[in-house]
Amino acid sequence: MKTNQKQHTVLTIGTFDGVHIGHQKIIKRLVEVANIKDLQPSLLTFFPHPRMVLQKDANIKLINTISEKEQLLKRFGITNLVVKKFTKDFSRLTAEVYVEDILVNQLKSKYVIIGYDHHFGRNRNANIEDLKQFGTQFNFEVEEISMQDINDVAISSTKIRSALLEGDIKTANTYLGYNFMLTGTIIKGKGLGKTIHYPTANLNIEESYKLIPKQGVYVVKALIDDKIEFGMMNIGNNPTVNGQSETIETHFFNYDQSLYGKKLSIELLERLRDEQKFENLEELTKQLDLDKIKAKAFLSQYAK
């Protein structure tokens, strides 16, 4: 966690998973206040997710990794993302110690924008009214986010996760306000794609908490060597060759250099079909040819 702020901050607090259109509304307000009051726009988030620590919910899946979240927040004008390690000890801090130590001394908050239903401190027993009192005590202002806006945020996070798990990438991207991405390092696969003239880049995602969409074939794009490259991605177990584990493999249409070791963020644009098991590699190749035609037809409209 970064400390010793040089500049006073306007701060919001939360998981902000997805950094979606509901969150962007709050972020826009944060940046507005930062510009008016000459403060640094800052966001305090916690990792691991509190549910992972307090409820031992290791199965929780998040829309963004921490690095993706940081990249998105920068895009929307947040120059200071503070990631506080969430532990059982941290959860036991009293509300006053939390506010004085972290919000005031470490983050130099002068203005806090927070939801009407925000709870904090040991056993989450302090609320926004308490925060306003602390504001008077420690000299910072508190702006309340309305019930309507909070409900928008809560609903769309849940809907995005559901849409991704159902393979409805169009709905997910609409709620996100940008394209859902998978970020990882390209590793060596079995090399099967080369033998059927569909070489693929095999994406390894280290973060086990990252939500992976429904298996199937997707139209995708990525920035490689400062150039946008389009392609199609298969998320699945490669049943035609009796694959045992899930892989994420992308065939880029116009890129034929080695990508091993490169870190890529691949954006998902459209879902073409479910993963299928074919009788042989010849049948699989025929289907990939059809997928490519469909993908290019979609891209001819997408690019306009």
Q: How far apart are CA 48 and CA 86, in angstroms?
A: 6
Radius of gyration of the chain (CA): 22
Q: How far apart are CA 26 and CA 155, in angstroms?
A: 15
Task: Provide the pLDDT for residue 123.
Answer: 83
223 within 8 A of 234, measured Cβ to Cβ: no
pTM: 0.90
**pLDDT averaged per 10 residues, the chain (length 304):** 69 93 94 96 91 77 94 94 92 93 95 91 90 96 89 86 97 97 92 80 94 97 95 86 81 92 97 90 92 96 74
- The string of DSSP codes covering 20-37 is -HHHHHHHHHHHHHHHHH
Q: How far apart are CA 60 and CA 228, in angstroms?
A: 32
